[in-house]
Amino acid sequence: MKVLVPVKRVLDYNVKARVKPDQTGVDLSNVKMSMNPFDEIAVEEAVRMQEAGTATETIAVSVGPAKAQETIRTALAMGMDRGVHITTDEDLEPLAVAKILKAVAEAEGAELVLMGKQAIDNDYGATGGMFAALMDWPIGQYANTLAPGEGTIEVKREIDGGLQTVTLKLPAVVTTDLRLNEPRYASLPNIMKAKRKPIEAKTPEDLGVDTTPRLTIVKVTEPKTREAGVIVETVAELVDKLKNEAGVI
């Protein structure tokens, strides 16, 4: 089956976000950017499916500025076949990204779309479900384990109460959770090889997608910071403070 993996370029998970003084957003100048960690997990799963012979072709797609190409290259260096880069300098909402992904999935004839459960920058967790609805495909969110079958895929999902298993008819969407796999590091030869793999570039206009935002950002602020408290010397002192000072036990 043909597998499509949307990958987003985001502020690296080790970097603490800083709000811009004018409160219009988070400062992304001169900071380390990486592939969204959940998308790395999706890429790893796609490559494993290819190695196992269940995926016939794997395509990475990113919607974003020129530098999103680096994110696609990372996916290619991990082993994916080729890339599609939808170029835009706007910070699109998940609805617009889902519409773009629909156009790409239809053009490519994708049978499985593996994506992250959440982008760690905007924390929306919405694109997968939105894309699935636009396609009228079933979805398996928060995948812990995947088992492809004949025209189906079984998804073990991480839910609030434990684990749930569902079977989806293909074509389908799966969103990844942390325990699905451990993404590999790209080897140097594979990084070199990835430089020659094709990346096709298009714009949202080429795809005829309307990307008008549905929300306006009034402002972005720093949250209240917590003051560090006191260091207690003994467990007895801790219990005393919790009981008599804080009154929480």
Partner 1 sequence: MATLVVAEHNNTSLSEATSKTVSAAKALGTDIDILVAGQGASAASEAAAQIDGVRAVITVEHDLLARQMPEAMEATIMALMDGYDTVMAADTTTHKAYMPRVAAKLDTQQISSVTGIDGDVFERPIYAGNALAYVKSTGGKKVVTVRTTAFPLSGDGGSAASESKSVEIGDTGSTFVSEELTKSDRPELTGAKIVISGGRGMGSGENFALIDTIADKLGAAVGASRAAVDAGYVPNDYQVGQTGKAVAPQLYIAVGISGAIQHLAGMKDSKVIAAINKDEEAPIFQVADYGLVADLFKALPELDAELAKIGY
Ligand X SMILES: Cc1cc2nc3c(=O)[nH]c(=O)nc-3n(C[C@H](O)[C@H](O)[C@H](O)COP(=O)(O)OP(=O)(O)OC[C@H]3O[C@@H](n4cnc5c(N)ncnc54)[C@H](O)[C@@H]3O)c2cc1C
Given the rule CB under 6 A, which residues bind ligand AMP?
Answer: 6-8, 36, 38-39, 62-64, 94, 97, 115-116, 118-119, 122, 124-128
CA distances from 134 to 3, 209, 223, 239 (A): 18, 13, 35, 54
Half-sphere exposure of 54 (CA within 13 A, CB side): 17
In the complex, the smallest distance separating the C-beta of residue 13 from partner 1, rounded to whole angstroms, is: 7
31 binds partner 1 (CB under 8 A): no
Single residue of 1, 19, 33, 120 touching ligand X by CB under 6 A? 120
How far apart, in whole angstroms, are the C-alpha atoms of residue 86 and residue 204? 6
Residue corresponding to tokens 């001169």: 30
Q: How far is the CB of 105 from partner 1 (least distance, A)?
A: 14
How many chain residues are in contact with ligand X, going by CB under 6 A?
3
What are residue 97's phi and psi, to 5 degrees?
Answer: -65, -40
Rule CB under 6 A: say whether 13 interacts with ligand X: yes
H or E element at residue 205:
none
User: What CA–CA distance (Å, rounded) separates 88 from 149?
Assistant: 37
Nearer to ligand AMP among residue 118 and residue 144 (C-beta): 118
37 counts as binding ligand X under rule CB under 6 A: yes
| Cα 39 to Cα 127: distance, rounded to the nearest angstrom | 12
Binding of ligand X at residue 125 (CB under 6 A)? no
Q: 147 Cβ partners below 8 Å, 6+ apart?
A: 153, 154
Point out the residue whose Cβ comes nearest to ligand AMP.
116
Stretch of 73-81, 107-115, 194-202, 230-238 lying at the interface with partner 1 (CB under 8 A): 230-238
Q: State the binding partner of 103 from ligand AMP, partner 1, ligand X, none, CB within 5 to 8 A by kind.
A: none
Q: Which stretch binds partner 1 (CB under 8 A): 39-47, 50-58, 160-168, 191-199?
A: 160-168
Provide CB contacts within 8 A for 177, sequence distance 6+. Answer: 38, 41, 117, 142, 143, 144, 157, 158
> How many residues sit close enough to partner 1 to count as binding (CB under 8 A)?
82
